[in-house]
Amino acid sequence: MFTVNYKKIALFFLLFILIFSSQAVLSANSPQIYINGEESTEKLDPTRSNGAVLVRSKALAKSIGAKLNWSGSINTLTMKKNGKSVKMMVGSPYIQIDSRAIRTDSPMVIKDNYTYIPFSDIMNVFGFLIEYDKLNNSYYLFKPESHLKEIDWGPDRQSLILKMDNIAPYRIRLTDDPKKLIVEIEKAAMEADFVDNVSDKNYYLQSKRIENQATLQIVLTSKYPLPINSDEVISEENGNLVIQFMPQIASVNWKQNDTLEIKSNGNMNKPEISFLEDPRRMVLDIPGVLLSEFEKNLEDNQWIKDVRVSQFQFEPTILRVVLDLKEKKYLNIVNQDDEDEIVLQPAKRARVFDLAYKDHQIVFKTDAKIEPDLFTLQDPSRLVINLFNTYREENMQGEINIKENIVKKIRVGRFDSQVVRIVADLSEMTAYNWEQEQHSKDVYIHRISFANKFDSIELLDQNIYTNININVSGKVNYEVKKFSYPHRLVVDISGEEITPDEVKLPDPTGIIKEIRMGRFDKEDETVTRIVFELDKYFNHNIVSDNPDNKINIALAKSEIQNKNNLIVLDAGHGGFDPGAVGPSNVEEKDINLRIVKKLESILKSRGFKVLLTRKSDNFVSLNRRVKIANNEGARVFISIHNNSSNKRTSEGTETFIAPNKTGDSMFLAENIQKELISKLGLVNRGVKKEHLYVIKYTEMPSVLVEVAFLSNPTEEKLLGDGKFIKDAAEAISQGLFNYFDKFKD
């Protein structure tokens, strides 16, 4: 009885192994091979062995023009080309390449009187690149299309220059390790006499091949975080690839003439300064500068105890320099003549006096040169002027009532024992301009005037559009005109307060080939004119309101074709993840899906293709949701959620975009939010930027809508109502249509 059973089991096992192994043979079907684009499968007769592919040696040698020599007596094969020689023996795991040997898992074999050799090991030797297409089980072998000849530093070690004989598709991969940078170049190889001028005790350069891919990887590892914080730092310049670094701090030195110098190896912007007590310290936040090893030399002095430097923030990059001040000592920034250094000198405590308002300006005097800190605050609008290391003269006016158009009142307060604070109450947020003028030896006059100015002019080059963003400190009236012969777009901004100087014009990009700015008088107004000279013209849309404090124009880069009209709708949560749960147990996942289903039917009725990341009550990971949208190349991604907080009083509608995607996503979010507010009438919490997973990693314009608060009993009740769900879906679709209309594509 026992033995019979035993035999049966053994038989069963045997059968199992047989079936299993036959399947293994089936799955190891032989691949297709293309050499220099030519299908060579038949002559090479490839077979798989231990994962590697063996091919007929004679045919391989012929197709790459190598010489073959077979010594039957010692079972050894030699293959030679361009002075390179490869030698191997039947059954031996070692392949001799010139004077070195490598190991292979699949040695040469003899089959039907032909020798078969592991081709990938050998083709690498003869300078071929191998790309394996897993889907079609095909190997493509070809010569590199470009070679990396040399890597060197640019001027001041501010950039890395990769010298190539030919530019191939390239990209930068940022790793989680800030000390590591990977550059990938397609179909490229290292030149035989490649020169590495970069590796030293702080830097280490490696080249790597990704297995079965024709991509060359250059890995730079540094002892310190690399001065790079985006993957957009690589560009082509004179036939080379150039990786531009951000400036880094180089030294902090106390000089004998009582001066503190902070130097970097590139241009530094003006730091933001604050003073803190306990312990007394002065904090300089320098934008756009990275931390690195720097020289520090603080000779014994009466002003500072120590200097600490840290990378306060990465996006945007801010370097924080903290000066530990000695008792009752202050430093001031003196003129920053050289842009790669910041110079500080001991400051005496200045007296503030003669505060007045005249000629639409706030005027006051100090008996020493100072660097005040000015900023505006909202609700109510006000300008705050902090005068560090100063004291107020006793008989200086403490309050001035003005009731003028812009400034209503000026108040003087004491922020702390070392700071005099002047606050100007404003009728609306406005731009200001501060200047300091030396009147006599001990009198400096400060004037603060209020006017509009350009904050920035930016061009954002996107897939279909170039977005022109003109940001002004206050609302302005403007007019956009299109002229032909040659094509140009003209933006006329009225208002004489606006000052065109001091704004940096961006570099032309996309179809914009030149940007100019000028002023002229028209009737009794001064007009600032910005001209965008265009290569060609297709279409433009004005996205901003008029008047507005930001002028946004979307300029089409080509004839717009609507090749993919797919909209991906994402109902948040699902399955075991209910999302937020309301006080009477309404679950967010259900509400989200109801809104999404309603939205789907509206969009389909308008001729859009719609794909849902989930159609029923099941769990889908955030990563999977992103992949669905990216793989399908959706035009727009909308994630529907309902909100919650731990207080029942929180209420309203808000829409999120990811901080890394502003242009199109922002316009979409603003349109949707606007419609939701007007249709649902809940509290407007606004459009916010946040690192939310699904909208951050999707590659198309993406928004996440939080329709209402489930944690709020009133709003929870609304969300249970079919009419409200329908209204929400209609508002979101209307916002989407408005967005599409503005882009007319």
Partner 1 sequence: MKNRIFKFIIMLIILIAVLGVVYYFIAGTNLVVKEESVDLYFSTKDAMYLEIESRTIKGRNLYKEAVNALIEGPTAPDLSKTIPEGTKVLNVSRNNDKIQIDFSKEIIENHWGGSTGERITVYSIVNTLAQFDEVGEVKFLIDGEEVDTLVGHMDLSRPLKPSQQIINPKK
Nearest-approach distance from CB 619 to partner 1, in angstroms: 10
d(CA 410, CA 195): 66
| CA distances in angstroms from 677 to 671, 708, 716, listed in the order given | 10, 11, 17
562: alpha, beta or left? (left if phi > 0; alpha if psi -120 to 50): beta
Q: What 3-state class would DSSP assign to 105?
A: coil
Q: Are 390 and 370 in contact (CB under 8 A)?
A: yes
Q: Indicate the Cα dihedral angle 58, 62, 65, 71, nearest 10°.
A: 20
| CA distances in angstroms from 291 to 13, 226, 307, 340, 566, listed in the order given | 64, 9, 14, 14, 44
CB-CB neighbours of 209 under 10 Å: 15
Nearest-approach distance from CB 527 to partner 1, in angstroms: 34
d(CA 494, CA 471): 14
Phi first, then psi, for residue 126 (nearest 5°) are -90, 15
- Complex with partner 1: residue 697 or 737, whichever CB lies closer: 697
Nearest-approach distance from CB 137 to partner 1, in angstroms: 33
Structure tokens at 736: 């989407």
Nearest-approach distance from CB 578 to partner 1, in angstroms: 8
The residues, any chain, with a CB within 8 Å of residue 558's CB and separated by 6 or more, are: 464, 538
Structure tokens at 163: 């010298």
To the query of whether residue 706 is one of the catalytic residues in this protein, the response is yes
Q: Which segments of 210-340 are extended strands (E)?
A: 215-222, 234-237, 240-244, 249-255, 259-264, 272-276, 281-287, 295-297, 304-314, 317-325, 331-333
- Complex with partner 1: residue 225 or 547, whichever CB lies closer: 225
Nearest-approach distance from CB 180 to partner 1, in angstroms: 15
Nearest-approach distance from CB 95 to partner 1, in angstroms: 41
Residue 487 CA, chain-centre distance (Å), reads 32
Nearest-approach distance from CB 458 to partner 1, in angstroms: 20
Q: What 3-state class would DSSP assign to 731?
A: helix
- Complex with partner 1: residue 176 or 524, whichever CB lies closer: 176
Nearest-approach distance from CB 320 to partner 1, in angstroms: 8
DSSP 605-642: HTT-EEEES-SSS----HHHHHHHHHHTT-SEEEEEEE
- Complex with partner 1: residue 575 or 633, whichever CB lies closer: 575
Q: Are 345 and 303 in contact (CB under 8 A)?
A: no
The residues, any chain, with a CB within 8 Å of residue 469's CB and separated by 6 or more, are: 456, 457, 458, 459, 460, 550, 551, 552
d(CA 643, CA 655): 11
- Complex with partner 1: residue 28 or 276, whichever CB lies closer: 276
The CA R_g of the chain, rounded to the nearest whole Å, is 34
- Complex with partner 1: residue 291 or 505, whichever CB lies closer: 291
- b/e per residue 714-737 (b: at least 16 CB within 10 A): ebbebbbeeebbebbbbbbbbbbb
Angle subtended at Cα 175 by Cα 169 and Cα 177, rounded to the nearest 5 degrees: 145
Which residues face 414 on adjacent strands?
420
- Complex with partner 1: residue 536 or 691, whichever CB lies closer: 691
Catalytic-role residue among 706, 715, 716, 730: 706
- Complex with partner 1: residue 367 or 706, whichever CB lies closer: 706
**Farthest CA pair distance, the chain:** 118
Terminal CA-to-CA distance of the chain, rounded, Å?
80
d(CA 527, CA 477): 10
Nearest-approach distance from CB 376 to partner 1, in angstroms: 10
Nearest to residue 172, comparing CAs of 244, 105, 116? Answer: 244
Contact footprint for partner 1 (CB under 8 A): 176, 308, 310-315, 320, 322, 377-379, 572-573, 577, 579-581, 588, 621-623, 641-647, 649-651, 654, 656, 685, 688-693, 696-697, 704, 706, 709-711
Nearest-approach distance from CB 228 to partner 1, in angstroms: 16
- Complex with partner 1: residue 483 or 619, whichever CB lies closer: 619
Structure tokens at 636: 């727009």
| CA distances in angstroms from 160 to 176, 201, 220, 384, 714, listed in the order given | 20, 17, 10, 43, 59
- Complex with partner 1: residue 379 or 502, whichever CB lies closer: 379
Q: Are 731 and 598 in contact (CB under 8 A)?
A: no
Nearest-approach distance from CB 711 to partner 1, in angstroms: 6
- Complex with partner 1: residue 121 or 670, whichever CB lies closer: 670
Nearest-approach distance from CB 202 to partner 1, in angstroms: 17
6: alpha, beta or left? (left if phi > 0; alpha if psi -120 to 50): alpha
- Complex with partner 1: residue 166 or 313, whichever CB lies closer: 313
Which residues have a catalytic role annotated? 706
